[in-house]
Amino acid sequence: MTNRRTLVAANWKMNGSIEGSRVLAEALIDGISAETPAEVAVCPSFVYLSQLSEQFKNTSIKLGAQNVSHLDEGAYTGEVAASMLVDFGCEYVIVGHSERRMHYHETDSCVAEKFSATQINGMTPILCIGELLEERESNSTEEVIARQLDAVIDKATINAFDNAVIAYEPVWAIGTGKTATPEQAQDVHQFIRLRLARHDRAIADGIRVLYGGSVKADNASQLFEMADIDGGLIGGASLVAKDFLDICHAVRK
C-alpha cells in the first residue's frame, strides 16, 4: 500500500488583516510540532505572503497561494506570476478553486494552464475539482469530475500529477455547513484515483486527494479515516486557530 502523507491546507480566502494574520500564524506555530501527524500548509491572501514567509521560516508549516497567473510576466495589471510566489517561499498554489471558476469565469483550460505555470516554477498545484448541487442531483458528478481532471491531464500530461495534489470540493459543501458524508466523499475520491489509474497506476496510488467542504474539528476524523481521503482543504475553520489545529491533529498517523 502506498504511504501518502496526510496534508491539511488552510485557505484563508480574502480574510484577515496584517495583525490578525500575524496572530493566527503565531498560534499555528505554537500548535504544530514534530508530533503533528499531518503536513500543514497555509494559503493566505497574496498581500500577507511576505509577513507569513518570515513567520514560518524555520517551522514545518508550508506556505501556499490561493491563485496564480497562467502567464510568466508582462503587461497584465493586477496579476501575480508563479515566479513571484517562489520569491516568497510558496510551495503550494491552489488552482481552480470553485470560487475562481464561478466568480472569475476560469475555464478548465485556464485552470490547466495555471496548473502548469505552478509546476514549471517548481511549486505543487492543489487542483480543486468538484460538482455543483444541480450536477450532483442530476447524477453528473462523475462526468464533471472526469471533465475537470481530463482537461489538466490533456494539457499537462499524466506525469505532471507526480507532483500535484487534488482537492475534491463539492461546491454545495463549500462554506455551507453541509459536509459530504465520508462515504459520498470516498466514492468520488476513489473515482478520481481510478480515472488517473487509466493513465498511470503508480501516479494514481501516490497522489494525495484532499477533501474540502465544511470540514470541522468534529467531522474531520471520520473523513480522514476513509481509504482514499488524504487530508483536507479547509476554509472557514482555518480562520480559528483552535479549530484548525484540532483538524490537523484529527488525521490518521
Residue with cell 501518502: 4
Integer Cα distance of 38 and 246 in angstroms = 11
By CB under 6 A, tell whether 130 contacts ligand PEP.
no
By CB under 6 A, tell whether 148 contacts ligand PEP.
no
Closest-by-Cβ residue to ligand PEP is: 235
Q: At its nearest, how many Å lie between ligand PEP and the CB of residue 58?
A: 28
- Decide whether 122 or 175 has the Cβ nearer to ligand PEP: 175
Integer Cα distance of 236 and 148 in angstroms = 25
| Cell numbers representing residue 46 in the block | 497574496
Integer Cα distance of 40 and 26 in angstroms = 14
How many Cβ atoms are within 10 Å of 179's Cβ, its own excluded? 21
Q: At its nearest, how many Å lie between ligand PEP and the CB of residue 72?
A: 27
By CB under 6 A, tell whether 11 contacts ligand PEP.
yes
The active-site residue, picked from 39, 113, 135, 169, is 169
Integer Cα distance of 222 and 183 in angstroms = 10
- Decide whether 123 or 167 has the Cβ nearer to ligand PEP: 167
Number of residues in contact with ligand PEP, rule: CB under 6 A? 13
Active site residue 99: no
Q: At its nearest, how many Å lie between ligand PEP and the CB of residue 182?
A: 16
Contacts of 246 (CB under 8 A, 6+ apart): 217, 220
- Decide whether 203 or 211 has the Cβ nearer to ligand PEP: 211
Residue 208, SS3 per DSSP = strand
- Rg of the Cα trace of the chain? 17
Residue with cell 513567520: 55
What does 53-76 look like in DSSP terms, one character per residue? Answer: HHHTTTSS-EEEES---SS-SSS-
- Decide whether 123 or 232 has the Cβ nearer to ligand PEP: 232
Q: At its nearest, how many Å lie between ligand PEP and the CB of residue 215?
A: 5
Residue 195, SS3 per DSSP = helix
Burial class (CB in 10 A: 0-12, 13-18, 19+), 248: buried
The active-site residue, picked from 97, 106, 135, 189, is 97
Active site residue 73: no
Q: For residues 174-233, which are near ligand PEP according to CB under 6 A? A: 174-175, 212-215, 233
Q: At its nearest, how many Å lie between ligand PEP and the CB of residue 10?
A: 9
By CB under 6 A, tell whether 32 contacts ligand PEP.
no
By CB under 6 A, tell whether 169 contacts ligand PEP.
yes
Query: Which spans of this chain sit near ligand PEP (rule: CB under 6 A)?
Result: 11, 169, 174-175, 212-215, 233-237
Enzyme catalytic residues? 97, 169
